[in-house]
Homo-oligomer: A and B are copies of this chain.
């Protein structure tokens, strides 16, 4: 679990890839970039991120049947972080002993974690930046557990030329090809090409037991 970062210090397993040195060890006054939201990163960590671009599929280029997908494996950290950000402390997500007594026979992810991956796929792939998220229907079909790999499958179902809107199928399957979520989204894609820098994510550290 313990690795070394580029300052030669041990680091803790983290969810992301940018490591911020503890200011008790290394003052953050050297070689740093301060972001517009007030968070700062060492330049050598941020540079690879600034190279990445997000680009949209403009409304004019969408056709019925246009597809995109996004695959993600649920980690223990994802599950804990989603509990944290949602405030959902229900033990079916967090307490293995309690969850084992339920019909799920173990801890399950929050359904909205899977929905957040759908949202990520819409915001970054189809239609991508510049689009507006108008609505989402979700049917939770099966639980997702730590270690499961989910694939969001997006496909344009309908296009409303007059209102510049589209309906997107947003089904999610697990590594066994079984439906985890079924549903669809209403979006208003941007007209014209939008290319933006993918914004770097903050460092997040969860402290595990030794």
Seen from chain A, the residues whose Cβ lies within 8 Å of a Cβ on chain B are 9-10, 15-16, 20, 22-25, 28-29, 34-40, 54, 72, 76, 78, 80-98, 102, 107, 110-113, 115-120, 123-124, 128-130, 133-140, 186, 196-210
**Are A97 and B36 in contact (CB-based, < 8 A)?**
yes
Select which of B87, B92, B97, B113 is within 8 A of A129 by beta carbon. Answer: B92
**How far is it, in angstroms, between the C-alpha of A58 and the C-alpha of B47 when the chains are bound?**
53
For A85, the closest partner residue in chain B by CB is B81
**How far is it, in angstroms, between the C-alpha of A209 and the C-alpha of B196 when the chains are bound?**
24
**How far is it, in angstroms, between the C-alpha of A196 and the C-alpha of B197 when the chains are bound?**
45
Q: Which of A198, A199, A203 has the most C-beta atoms of chain B within 10 angstroms of its own C-beta?
A: A199
**Are A54 and B90 in contact (CB-based, < 8 A)?**
yes
Q: Which residues on B sit within 8 Å (CB–CB) of A124?
A: 87-90
A202 in contact with B84 given A36-B97, A96-B37, A112-B119 (CB within 8 Å):
yes
**Are B37 and A76 in contact (CB-based, < 8 A)?**
yes
**Are B22 and A22 in contact (CB-based, < 8 A)?**
yes
Q: Which residues on B sit within 8 Å (CB–CB) of A128?
A: 90
**How far is it, in angstroms, between the C-alpha of A28 and the C-alpha of B38 when the chains are bound?**
31
Give me 14 A-to-B residue pairs in the complex whose CB atoms sit less than 8 angstroms apart, sorted by A's number: A9-B24, A37-B94, A40-B208, A83-B202, A85-B85, A85-B113, A85-B116, A90-B124, A90-B199, A110-B119, A111-B119, A134-B139, A134-B140, A204-B204
A88 in contact with B111 given A81-B81, A204-B204 (CB within 8 Å):
no
Q: Which residues on B sit within 8 Å (CB–CB) of A207?
A: 20, 23, 28, 39-40, 202-203
Min CB distance A78 to B, Å, is 6
User: 5 closest Cβ contacts across the A-B interface?
Assistant: A94-B199, A86-B116, A40-B209, A20-B207, A88-B120
Q: Which residues on B sit within 8 Å (CB–CB) of A123?
A: 88, 90, 92, 110
